[in-house]
């Protein structure tokens, strides 16, 4: 976005005038081209259909460019980065999400550094090949694995964090890439562009005092195929008979339920405590250390891919793009 000096309101940024705002781009050791969607949206309005649109744009231009930078509003950037990490299978080039907390025309904007370094990361090569071959999210001097991120702050420049996986790269006087942490494509396998995401899913966050009528209403939602259950701590939940009975019945009726922790960091350890033993017996999927954003995206991706009921749990509990340990 760019701020209108006369009114102080924000409007969509015109990339044709980018060099007026960031003349430093002329110093980059690479050529860049830009594409803007006809109708820019606030990131709060992002949908799976728009993720498909992004994938189609990348697919069409995949062989013409060495890397891609996606400018995206910060509010839902982690969701989009996670979604594209699954939709772009066996990437051989970088796809870097970035944005800013302040508009690009603002005196103290963080947009310039975020954009310049993201382009540098997308263009980074070694022996003629891209250094990064996955979906990343760059913000405030750090590159994270896209499907490991969560927006943690709405007021500071350090808006994102990846509490369960270290940064892939850090920007200081020089760009320092931790190559041992990077995700690598399978040798001999082509990049696959997936375009089917099934959004018939939901999220249920547990809280003290949660009642039977509310839980039953969620579990009986028409068309619901899968549910992310945000539990306490290391995957713990109430042991009330009504709660466990409702979950058990839903799972037996075909509902897929993934157990993820409400905590910003850490992992689900089903069976470690008595309060999670029952969830393990019900055959809930162990979300391990996956984030809620990635858990949702992975469900949409696997449901859209038509994974069978028999193998769903096994595949979900397997790391597909480095999203979980």
The reply to whether 19 falls in a domain is yes
Residue 224: domain span: 201-316
In whole angstroms, give the CA distance from residue 317 to residue 71.
31
Both 167 and 244 in one domain: the answer is no
Q: Which pLDDT tens digit goes with each residue over 23-53? A: 888 889 899 998 888 888 889 999 999 999 9
The predicted-structure confidence for 159-212, as pLDDT tens digits, reads as follows 999 999 999 999 999 999 999 999 998 988 999 999 999 999 999 999 999 999
CATH of the domain at 44: 3.40.50.1170
Boundary (domain end) residue, out of 136, 165, 193: 193
With bands split at pLDDT 50, 70 and 90, how would you rate the model's confidence at 321? very high
Answer for the pair 96, 86: CB distance below 8 angstroms, yes or no: no
Mind listing the pLDDT tens digit for each residue in 74-125? 999 999 999 999 999 999 999 999 999 888 777 788 989 999 999 999 999 9
Would 322 be classed as within a structural domain? no
Q: Are residues 280 and 262 located together in one domain of the fold?
A: yes
Q: Tell me the DSSP string of 118-181.
A: HHHHHH-EETTEES--SEEEEETTEEEEGGG-EE--SSSS--EE-TTS--SEEESSSEEE-GGG
Q: Do 147 and 108 share a structural domain?
A: yes
pTM of the model: 0.94
Whether residues 55 and 109 share a domain: the answer is: yes
Residue 298 confidence (pLDDT): 98
pLDDT at 10: 73
User: Could you tell me what percentage of the chain is helix, strand and coil, using 3-state DSSP and rounding each to the nearest 5?
Assistant: 35, 20, 45
Q: 146 and 23 in one domain?
A: yes
Q: Residue 83: inside a domain, yes or no?
A: yes
Does residue 143 lie within any of the structural domains? Answer: yes
Size (the chain), residues: 325
Q: How far apart are CA 264 and CA 71, in angstroms?
A: 25
Regarding whether 228 and 124 lie in a shared domain, the answer is: no
Do residue 10 and residue 117 come from a single domain? yes
What was the pLDDT predicted at 56? 98
Is 131 found in the same domain as 37? Answer: yes
Residue pLDDT, tens place only, 257-304: 999 999 999 999 988 888 889 999 999 999 999 999 999 999 999 999
Q: Which of 11-25, 173-187, 230-244 has the lowest mean pLDDT?
A: 11-25
Q: What is the pLDDT of residues 138-153, one digit of tens each?
A: 999 999 999 999 999 9
The pLDDT of residue 18 is 74
Answer yes or no: do 57 and 165 share one domain: yes
**What's the rounded Cα separation, in Å, for the pair 198 and 226?**
10
* Planar angle of CA 315, 316, 319, nearest 5 degrees: 85
* H or E element that contains 142: strand 142-145
162 shares a domain with 82? yes
Q: Which of 193, 224, 245 is the last residue of a domain?
A: 193
| Both structure tokens of 290 | 């996956």
Contacts of 226 (CB under 8 A, 6+ apart): 200, 201, 202, 255, 256, 257, 258, 299, 303
Confidence (pLDDT) at 81: 98
Place of tokens 């947009």: 111
For position 253, which CATH number holds? 3.40.50.40
């Amino acid at each position: 976005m760019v701020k209108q000096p006369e009114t102080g309101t924000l409007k969509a940024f015109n990339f044709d005038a980018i060099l007026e705002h960031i003349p430093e781009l002329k110093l980059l050791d690479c050529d860049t081209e830009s594409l803007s969607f006809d109708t820019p949206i606030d990131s709060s309005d992002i949908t799976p259909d728009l993720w498909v649109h992004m994938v189609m744009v990348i697919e069409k231009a995949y062989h013409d460019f060495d890397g891609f930078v996606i400018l995206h509003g910060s509010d839902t950037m982690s969701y989009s980065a996670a979604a594209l990490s699954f939709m772009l299978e066996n990437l051989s080039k970088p796809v870097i999400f970035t944005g800013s907390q302040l508009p690009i025309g603002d005196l103290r904007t963080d947009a310039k550094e975020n954009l310049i370094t993201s382009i540098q990361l997308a263009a980074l090569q070694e022996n003629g090949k891209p250094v990064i071959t996955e979906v990343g999210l760059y913000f405030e001097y750090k590159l994270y694995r896209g499907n490991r991120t969560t927006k943690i702050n709405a007021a500071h420049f350090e808006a994102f964090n990846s509490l369960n996986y270290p940064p892939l790269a850090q920007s200081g006087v020089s760009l320092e890439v931790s190559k041992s942490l990077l995700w690598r494509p399978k040798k001999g396998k082509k990049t696959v562009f997936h375009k089917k995401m099934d959004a018939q899913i939901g999220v249920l966050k547990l809280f003290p005092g949660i009642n039977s009528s509310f839980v039953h209403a969620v579990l009986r939602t028409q068309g619901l195929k899968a549910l992310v259950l945000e539990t306490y701590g290391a995957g713990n939940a109430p042991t009330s008979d009504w709660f466990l009975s409702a979950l058990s019945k839903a799972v037996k009726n075909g509902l897929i339920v993934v157990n993820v922790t409400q905590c910003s960091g850490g992992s689900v350890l089903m069976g470690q405590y008595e309060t999670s033993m029952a969830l393990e017996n019900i055959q809930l999927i162990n979300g391990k250390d996956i984030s809620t954003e990635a858990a949702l995206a992975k469900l949409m991706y696997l449901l859209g891919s038509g994974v069978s009921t028999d193998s769903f749990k096994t595949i979900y509990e397997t790391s597909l793009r480095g999203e979980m340990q």
